Structure 1
Amino acid sequence: MQTLEESGSASERRAQASAALRVAPRAVGAFYATSLETFRFMFRRPFHLREFLLQAWFIAGVSIMPTLLMAIPFCMMFVYQINILLAEIGAVDLSGAGAGVAIVREIGPIVTVLVVAGAGSTAVCADLGSRTIREEIDAMKVLGIDPIHRLCVPRVLASTVIAMFLNGLVSAVGLVGGYIATVYMQGASPGQYVTSISILTGLGDFFVAEIKAAVFGMLAGLVACHLGLNVRGGPKGVGDAVNQTVVFSFLLLFLANSIITTLALH
């Protein structure tokens, strides 16, 4: 009897795995199609400026406070560890250079990833998902209004712009947090910290970080819009889509971060 139950459970697992393998390419293809449609409608008039401003304000409202609460302690502890390493090799005077490289090149975009995917894109997905289960999206299609043009394009552009803004905010706040950790927690010289920031960090690094943030915001917005417009199963489906938005956004954003960083270093 136990052998029959084990064989039955094994066959069920194999069936589930094969079903997942069949569904995955379709999901990737559907996301690719939604992305292409969104890019195509970005250059089609009219541009819904009011919707763009409302969504930018909405995403900024749910993202700014988490950004500040994450950036300050995260950057302080990261710089604190860097300074310990620099003290071991006798290079404490380069504390600002280490902080600038770490915060501007990597920490700023990474914190932006966490905030945009964890707060902004989930809110967008929940909004579109609730519209979908209330059949508002179907009503728009009946009236001849394309939901991608009317809803997705302003949200993707708003997510992109706010991600760039958040990246600059994280860089500024992070450098202040690094100053606090270096000067007040480890007793280093304020002048050494400030003057050494520009040794290894320049405007080019900040521009690369802003490009990263723009790509991150665009990808997070595309994932949120795609999953929100394809919700199935009522309120439970909306909750599942929000969870999937976080997971898929993190995967795409960290993959994009690795690719952009590798290309920028070469």
Structure 2
Amino acid sequence: MGTPDLTKPLAGIGGFFMMAAHTLRAIAGRPFAWDEFVRQAWFVARVSIMPTLLLSIPFTVMTVFILNILLMEVGAADLSGTGAALGAVTQIGPVVTVLVVAGAGATAMCADLGARTIRDELDAMRVMGIDPVAALVVPRVLAATLVAVLLSPLVTCVGLIGGFAFSVYFQNVTPGAFVYGLTLLVGLPEVLIALIKAALFGLAAGLIACYQGISVGGGPAGVGNAVNETVVFSFVALFFINVVATAVGVKATA
């Protein structure tokens, strides 16, 4: 059995980090493509906001339901709000947001850039002296990051409202106790960490989508493969970043 050829995967990883470094440098460059940034931010928000809000309710309700069963067994059902707030703020809000942003917005970015790539539009831009990363990648990456940060608190609020309604009306938790418990373990540091996590998730999803789009090959079939790979790689990056960010956040707020 021969040794596996790792040239292509390693080349892809190297190319991704080179593009990421180029993107971070180009963010501070001038001129900034404000029109493209606004269009992309509106597009990502438009395709993501409703699925994100609808997905946040079952995620939070299921978490609260399981937690309440445990709390009722030990006679601590009044702490239901504490668990709901901790789960919604630190995990459900950022994670659900980027799942939809990566699944809807990032794939559309990848398909758009992939179509431009196979039509040689990016090469034409380079010939004209226009940097495709500054003109196309930077606005899309920042748009995905901004939308993820803005959607995360909205998802958290909707999830907490859904968790409150389910706990009070279906599991007979006292409304006052639920509301009082919201701030027992969750404060400003946890909210800030959740926003940082959402920003990192959106940044990673945007970078992966753009790299897959500008490095696509093989014609239209290659674009389809790149879109599928964008979803898979974004979800893998999401869970890796979540583990690291959560561990760092717990140590920072301990």
TM-score strictly above 0.5: yes
What per-residue deviation string (whole Å, max 9, x for no partner) do you get for residues 188-218 of structure 1? Answer: 1111111110111111111100000000000
> Which amino acid is 1:25 matched to?
L
Deviation string for 1:121-163 (max 9, x for gaps)?
A: 1111011111111221111111111100000000111110000
Q: Distance in 1 between matches of 2:9 and 2:216?
A: 16
Question: Shift of the alpha carbon at 1:50?
Answer: 1.1
- Residue of structure 2 aligned with 1:226, choices 185, 201, 211: 211
2:154 paired with 1:158: no
Among candidates 220, 231, 238, match of residue 223 of structure 2: 238
Alignment of 1:43-62 (within 5 A): 43-62=28-47
> Residues of 2 paired with 1:131 and 1:202: CA distance?
45
1:120 is aligned to 105
Describe how 1:79-94 pairs up with structure 2 within 5 A: 79-94=64-79
TM-score after normalising by structure 1? 0.92
Q: Percent identity?
A: 53
Match of 2:240 in 1: 255
User: Partner residue of 2:122?
Assistant: 137
The structure that is helix-richer by fraction is 1
Contact 1:77–1:181 (Cα < 8 Å) also in 2: no
For residues 67-122 of structure 1, the C-alpha deviation after alignment (integer angstroms, 9 at most, x for no partner) is 01211111111111111111011101111011001110111111123112111111
| Unmatched tracts of structure 2, length 5 or more | none
1:264 maps to 249
The AA in structure 1 aligned to 2:238 is L
TM-score, normalised with respect to structure 2: 0.96
2:20 alignment partner in structure 1: 35
Moved more, 222-231 or 134-143: 134-143
- Letter paired with 2:172: G
Q: Does 1:212 align with 2:161?
A: no
CA distance in 1, matches of 2:220, 2:230: 15
Are 1:127 and 1:228, in contact at CA under 8 Å, matched by a contact in 2? yes
Confirm whether residue 68 of structure 1 aligns to residue 92 of structure 2: no
Task: Identify the residue that residue 188 of structure 1 maps to in structure 2.
Answer: 173
2: CA distance, partners of 1:264 / 1:72:
25
Instruction: Structure 1 unaligned segments of length 5 or more: list them.
Output: 1-10
| Cross-structure match for 1:18 | 4
User: CA contact under 8 A between 1:118 and 1:246: conserved in structure 2?
Assistant: yes
Q: 1:240 and 1:32 mapped to 2: Cα distance?
A: 20
1: distance between equivalents of 2:152 and 2:239?
15
- Corresponding residue for residue 6 of structure 1: none
CA RMSD, Structure 1 to Structure 2 (Å): 1.0
Q: Max radius of gyration: which structure? A: 1
Look up the equivalent residue of 2:31 and give its one-letter code.
P
